[in-house]
Structure 1
Amino acid sequence: MKTFKFKISLFVLFAILSYACQNDSLNPIDEDSTPPGKVSDVVVEPGQGSARISYTLPNSSNLLYVKAVFEIKPGVKQEAKASYYKSFVVVEGFADTLVHDVTLYAVSRSEKLSEPVTVKVKPLPAPVYDVFNTLDISESFGGFLVKFNNPAANSLNVNSNIRIGVLRYDSLAKEWDQIDMHYSGLVDGKFSVRGLEAKKQKFGFFIKDRFDNVTDTLIREMTPIFEQQIDGSKIKHVKSGHPVPQVAPLPLDGSEVKHAEVYSSSWELPKLFNDVYGHSDGLHTKERFAQPIWITMDLGVTAKLSRYKWWQRLHTNGQDYFYSHGNPHQWEIWGTNNLSDPNSWVKLDARVLQKPSGLPVGILSNDDREIALAGHEFEFADHNTAVRYIAWKNIDSWASIEGTFGHLHMAELKLWGQIQ
């Protein structure tokens, strides 16, 4: 009997679902077929690659939204919509400063269109052209550096997000190859292209936005500076037993700068050079050390160091560590060829890590995460002094900015230079 009832129940459920599916369709939310009145008192305010069109809404009880129909380039149609809560609509994606027709429709709840109202807009130059005009490109170690400004990123203009394409000319095939594409939504940005042969080459740079509007190509002929990567497997931890410079900044508690001790055998220095970028692998010092703390390394070779790149520890137990916890905030790198002489050390670089978004510790933007995942690259301020030993002087970490006690952890470190 129970089995029979169960079968009857399934049959009834199936019948109900079948009926519902047969009667399910995407109909307008209102069946009133009366078209709404049209918008009036239209005012156009040009923007960069865009325009803001203000208007007075019709006095129609069935009004749902206003739709703008336009072409950003011949044959490429776009639509923009604004609800009846707003009295303006923004049209964007224009690559030129020509006059464009924009047709406005008031749309009812039953998707009935009002009479059209056509206005003309003449947008200002798109943000990609401002970025293009600020490109600052310079030869560097193993490649080149690209710096740029994107003032439109200060606004809420979605069109301000840009991509910078990098091309290299293949003289044998007589064609251009794309070797990099850099995305950014930041006001001030920079990136590098590395791993290039130290010979004169021709490169091209262009800017593109999310509407595939693209600038002309800037052509530069450059010769990357020769460098080679220092073999991380040969880098050894030089632990306490040698004097270090006692120069400012010094610990706030009045003590001397000391050699940091590693957290455990699973967080020793070799983990910093093993090509593993996870959350539980890398260098980790003991906690609550008076900062600054000092980590000394034997490079295994003598080299003029050109640049370095390091990666933050990711997270642990689901807690995100980017720009927080023991990840470095301010540091210096020193070098010497004589460990027994504290006066022989030379400061090779000094940095403060800037959080791209400027948000408080613990709050991250997508740019923060993407830049941290890609690693932080810096050129040595002094790349002319050949050294055998270097020391990372960790002044403070993100969880202890300007604090007395703290610790250091990093996931990975890479070094480049010219081996002597």
Structure 2
Amino acid sequence: MKFQKYIPHCMGLLFLGALLFNNACRKIDGYNDIVSNDKTKPGPVTSVKVSNFNGGAYITYALPDSKNILYVEANYAISDKKTRQTKSSYYSDSITVSGFAKSQDYKVTLYVVSRANVKSDSVVVTVHPDTPPYQLVYASLAAQNAFGGVNIKAVNKTRNAVGIVSLLPNANTNSLDIEDQHYSTADSINYTLRGYDTLPKPFGFYVTDEWGNISDTLFSTIHPIYETLMDKQLFQPFVLPTDVPNYQNGYFNLSNLWNNNNGEPGYNTQQPILKSDSKPFIWPAWATFDMGQSARLSRYMFWFRTGGSNEFVWTSGSPQTWVIWGRNDTPVDEVMPADTTQLPAVGQATAGGWINMGKFNAPPRPPHNPLTNEDLATWAAGFNFDLSIDLPKVRYLRLECFHTMGGTDNYFGIMEMSVYGNPK
């Protein structure tokens, strides 16, 4: 796959009009406007020192000896077209300047401002920021074919706010239109755009930041891989001796996982306090089923239990950490690894032939108490989990749960599961 780099022109403006980043001219809290009649001109900062970082610099200084100082102001250009102003309270001996477009020399003009809004003489200092975060992210940007679309990956070591913008030619004008905008502060960026047919797509990608700086554009022709929802009518349990029994057999059955109903009843494993046979309860617990056809799987979705008053949301027996096992040949029973440190690598098999399709974690509970309507809507919509594109075809799946959201770690439940892939 060949990549070319171009500099975008008007696309950055389109992106900035749509993406909700912070205001470019951020002010530092810590001072209040206080009226003063003292019009004495304050002295300038002295003993100025600079410590550069990616995209910015810390400037330390000594303030003049005066009780009439309100703040220190820094004025500077971050690019050929944009300037910023940053203020720092008189309680501080430093100021941060950031948002620079390149790693090069920039002039920063410092003023001491009094409570009567009188400025000192200027002090000009030179900063030389290290490579800005958006450029670091762009240097690692990669796109590859994915099921139903394109997978985009990048490294964001500084964890600064960046946006990755995806472009596609407009069929009528042949101009590049924004297809998607992905905002992230994660150190590892990995996401997939889906919903495309299998015809070649000439995508373009660039990186921007909260100050409107824009990288070059990376172009790549993507060939989406065929993906479809696996036919749930073909699914059926494939019970093996070490599989965990259902809870209240006949109600919370495994087959509820694919009955196209996200509500009650779902699938729930036996709880040890209600165990009705003499078999010892096994944890972690697993269950096995047959999809009825072989396929290269791309992803799956889980819907977890909600309850009538949301009492099961991000708690109870909903899985928090689990593994999906798969195989194409007729399954043999096997006691699965007891913890996640014993797993074979993704794509590799256990001694009994079960292929590790991936270890997964549910999204953590949002920090709101109580949960917001948006949190509840996210829960109700279900969660998507991507599988590695390099996995072989499988027909049989085994779900093994290691930890639950409620921390009980002795039973688990899932309301519905949808599996996607290419059975061709």
TM over 0.5: yes
**Is 2:403 the partner of 1:396?**
yes
> Secondary structure of the equivalent of 1:132?
helix
In the aligned structure 2, how far is the partner of 1:58 from the partner of 1:273? 74
| Structure 2 contact 246–252 (Cα < 8 Å) conserved | no
Which amino acid in 1 is paired with 2:224?
A: P
Which amino acid in 2 is paired with 1:351?
A: G
**Is 2:242 the partner of 1:259?**
no
Alignment of 1:350-369 (within 5 A): 350-353=357-360
**Is 2:279 the partner of 1:307?**
no
Superposed displacement of residue 96, structure 1:
2.1
- Structure 1 pair 311–338 and aligned structure 2 pair: CA distance change class (3 A): closer
| Structure 1 contact 257–292 (Cα < 8 Å) conserved | no
Superposed displacement of residue 205, structure 1:
1.2
Partner of 1:163: 163
| Structure 2 contact 302–418 (Cα < 8 Å) conserved | no
> Secondary structure of the equivalent of 1:124?
coil
| Structure 2 contact 305–413 (Cα < 8 Å) conserved | no
**Is 2:232 the partner of 1:224?**
no
Superposed displacement of residue 86, structure 1:
1.7
| Structure 2 contact 245–270 (Cα < 8 Å) conserved | no
- Structure 1 pair 393–318 and aligned structure 2 pair: CA distance change class (3 A): closer
**Is 2:113 the partner of 1:107?**
yes
**Which has more helix, going by share of residues?**
1
In the aligned structure 1, how far is the partner of 2:257 from the partner of 2:321? 20
**Is 2:45 the partner of 1:39?**
yes
In the aligned structure 2, how far is the partner of 1:131 from the partner of 1:137? 13
- Structure 1 pair 378–201 and aligned structure 2 pair: CA distance change class (3 A): same
| Structure 1 contact 263–284 (Cα < 8 Å) conserved | no
Partner of 2:339: none
Superposed displacement of residue 186, structure 1:
1.3
Partner of 2:125: 119
Superposed displacement of residue 29, structure 1:
4.2
User: Once the two structures are superposed, what CA deviation does each residue of 1:146-175 show, in whole Å capped at 9, x if it has no partner?
Assistant: 22111112xxxxxx2111111223466422
> Secondary structure of the equivalent of 1:131?
helix
| Structure 1 contact 326–406 (Cα < 8 Å) conserved | no
- Structure 1 pair 354–115 and aligned structure 2 pair: CA distance change class (3 A): farther
Which amino acid in 2 is paired with 1:41?
A: S
Aligned match for 1:333, one of 325, 334, 338: 325
| Structure 2 contact 357–391 (Cα < 8 Å) conserved | no
Partner of 1:81: 87
Instruction: Give the TM-score taking structure 1 as reference length.
Output: 0.72
> Secondary structure of the equivalent of 2:213?
coil
Partner of 1:418: 422
In the aligned structure 2, how far is the partner of 1:172 from the partner of 1:310? 35
Partner of 2:344: none
| Structure 2 contact 69–114 (Cα < 8 Å) conserved | yes
User: Once the two structures are superposed, what CA deviation does each residue of 1:157-206 show, in whole Å capped at 9, x if it has no partner?
Assistant: xxx21111112234664222322222211112211122221122211111
**Is 2:212 the partner of 1:206?**
no
**What are structure 2's unaligned runs of at least 5 residues?**
1-31, 273-280, 335-351, 369-374
Which amino acid in 1 is paired with 2:240?
A: P
**Is 2:411 the partner of 1:407?**
yes
In the aligned structure 2, how far is the partner of 1:176 from the partner of 1:314? 43
Superposed displacement of residue 272, structure 1:
6.3
Partner of 1:12: none
In the aligned structure 2, how far is the partner of 1:101 from the partner of 1:380? 48
**Is 2:96 the partner of 1:90?**
yes
Aligned match for 1:294, one of 286, 290, 293: 286
Instruction: Give the TM-score taking structure 2 as reference length.
Output: 0.71
**Is 2:237 the partner of 1:238?**
yes
> Secondary structure of the equivalent of 1:129?
helix
Identity among equivalent pairs (%)? 23
Partner of 1:22: none
| Structure 2 contact 297–393 (Cα < 8 Å) conserved | no
| Structure 1 contact 321–327 (Cα < 8 Å) conserved | no
- Structure 1 pair 32–324 and aligned structure 2 pair: CA distance change class (3 A): farther
| Structure 1 contact 144–224 (Cα < 8 Å) conserved | yes
